């Protein structure tokens, strides 16, 4: 689904040029000419990112940033400030006011689009945390207690010892977090006796050429460092390196020569985001595990799935983005239990659950809602993407037989899938999220019945939804 970006600039020509650039990249673009109209648009239209000029006719961008960050409905929206000024003092004021990025005119389109993609990925974490917390409250659980977070750990990986010492000397009086100078090999050593860093500051000029960018990719692929924040130091003229670093998974960029005050502000911001992401994973993995998960497969159960779908419905009504719901049922599962025993049936359910989960996005929900029946909810998903996902799940389940532990042979398994859609044309019964959930489940159930009737191992779309 297209992400929505709000452009705030009092010069119509600037807005038009920016709109053309972003529209060509398939973003939905909104416009505002001053701070007051930007605030109204932000609260009304809930953009996914705001790109604003520093000098607005009724306020400075720093004031707009502070106001947006202070309001709960707009606090999580990423903010980019754009200006013709290049002074470090102006940049610091913008970053301290809550801006996520500061770009100077004339804008480099490659850097701009890479930065937009990067910030929108970071926003997905905040959105998912809010969605999970909303489901947690809807189930009647108390708010998770705020746990004291120990100081984060920062690792500096410089191209040469002099640069590393300069970074550490500049950061030491500005940060309370421990600072460690390490090598590329130490960053990837999961057996090291030092704890894994929360933030890595990586010099893009690591030797040999290209090693800095490779390290970004390796940190993202390494299990121990996958969730750490990665910041990359790049020369100002290295535009392609900067864009590639962001697309490889870097969380932020800092231009060389490094300004210690700017680096400290950006490190603190990344530490806050990592703590938020850690809380999300803790909530998903631990907070609701016993009450709302299926003990056999480890998936969420019906008690969790339906309120969570209700939250997806509510968010869709706010954003205008569609979503999809699937009901999936194992074909002829009773024969598995009858011919091979219930232990074999359990093994099949566990393996099917794993294959479903492995073929979905982290933001998607998969739940076991009955004996051999599963539900999948796909937030912010269009028709074609949902259909492709359903086919991918069907193919993944039938791809190979399920091996039985301690027994010869394997069991071939297929699954039938019914798909329904909501959001753009919501199938509401009584206008409430609960009514829409009931209507969607009924539509998906009819589609599932059609899939069974047409021969099984198929995907059927609810015709009224399509």
Count how many Cα atoms sit within 13 Å of the Cα of residue 451 in the half-sphere of its side chain: 29
Catalytic positions, please?
372
C-alpha–C-alpha distance, residues 97 and 12, integer Å: 25
Task: State how far the Cα of 217 lies from the Cα of 84, in Å rounded to an integer.
Answer: 33
Mapping DSSP to helix (H, G, I), strand (E, B) and coil, where does residue 55 land? strand
Question: Which residue pairs from 377-380 have beta carbons closer than 8 angstroms and sit at least 24 positions apart in sequence?
Answer: 377/305, 377/308, 377/309, 377/312, 377/323, 377/324, 377/325, 377/326, 378/323, 378/324, 378/325, 378/326, 379/131, 379/312, 379/315, 379/316, 379/321, 379/323, 380/1, 380/316, 380/319, 380/321, 380/322, 380/323
d(CA 457, CA 395): 9
Q: Which own/partner pairs from 289-292 qualify as long-range (CB within 8 Å, at least 24 positions apart)?
A: 291/139, 291/141, 292/139
Q: Is the dihedral of CA 335, 339, 341, 347 positive or negative?
A: negative
């Amino acid at each position: 689904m297209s992400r929505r970006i709000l452009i705030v600039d009092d010069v119509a020509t600037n807005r038009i040029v920016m709109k053309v650039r972003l529209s060509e990249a398939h973003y939905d673009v909104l416009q505002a000419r001053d701070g007051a109209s930007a605030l109204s648009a932000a609260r009304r239209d809930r953009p996914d990112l705001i790109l604003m000029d520093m000098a607005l006719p009724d306020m400075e961008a720093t004031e707009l940033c502070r106001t947006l960050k202070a309001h709960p409905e707009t606090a999580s929206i990423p903010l980019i400030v754009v200006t013709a000024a290049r002074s470090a003092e102006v940049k610091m004021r913008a970053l301290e006011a809550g801006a996520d990025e500061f770009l100077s005119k004339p804008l480099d389109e490659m850097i701009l689009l890479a930065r937009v993609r990067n910030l929108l990925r970071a926003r997905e974490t905040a959105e998912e945390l809010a969605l999970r917390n909303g489901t947690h409250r809807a189930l009647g659980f108390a708010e998770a207690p705020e746990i004291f977070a120990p100081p984060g750990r920062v690792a500096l990986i410089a191209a040469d010892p002099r640069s590393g010492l300069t970074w550490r000397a500049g950061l030491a009086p500005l940060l309370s977090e421990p600072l460690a100078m390490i090598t590329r090999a130490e960053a990837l050593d999961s057996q090291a006796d030092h704890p894994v860093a929360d933030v890595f500051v990586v010099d893009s000029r690591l030797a040999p050429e290209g090693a800095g960018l490779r390290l970004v990719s390796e940190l993202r692929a390494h299990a121990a460092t996958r969730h750490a924040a990665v910041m990359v130091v790049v020369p100002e003229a290295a535009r392609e390196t900067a864009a590639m670093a962001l697309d490889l998974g870097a969380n932020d960029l800092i231009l060389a020569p490094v300004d210690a005050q700017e680096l400290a502000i950006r490190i603190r911001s990344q530490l806050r985001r990592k703590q938020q992401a850690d809380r999300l994973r803790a909530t998903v993995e631990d907070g609701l595990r016993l009450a709302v998960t299926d003990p056999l497969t480890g998936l969420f159960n019906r008690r969790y799935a339906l309120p969570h779908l209700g939250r997806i419905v509510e968010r869709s009504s706010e954003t205008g983005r569609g979503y999809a719901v699937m009901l999936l049922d194992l074909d002829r599962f009773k024969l598995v239990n009858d011919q091979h025993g219930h232990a074999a049936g359990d093994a099949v359910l566990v393996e099917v659950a794993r294959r479903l989960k492995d073929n979905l996005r982290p933001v998607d929900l998969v739940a076991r809602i009955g004996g051999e029946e599963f539900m999948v909810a796909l937030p912010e998903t269009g028709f074609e993407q949902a259909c492709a996902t359903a086919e991918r799940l069907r193919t993944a389940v039938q791809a190979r037989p399920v091996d039985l532990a301690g027994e010869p042979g394997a069991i071939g398994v297929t699954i039938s899938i019914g798909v329904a859609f909501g959001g753009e044309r919501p199938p509401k019964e009584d206008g409430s999220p609960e009514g829409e959930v009931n209507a969607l489940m009924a539509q998906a159930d009819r589609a599932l019945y059609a899939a069974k009737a047409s021969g099984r191992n198929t995907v059927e779309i609810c015709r009224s939804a399509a």
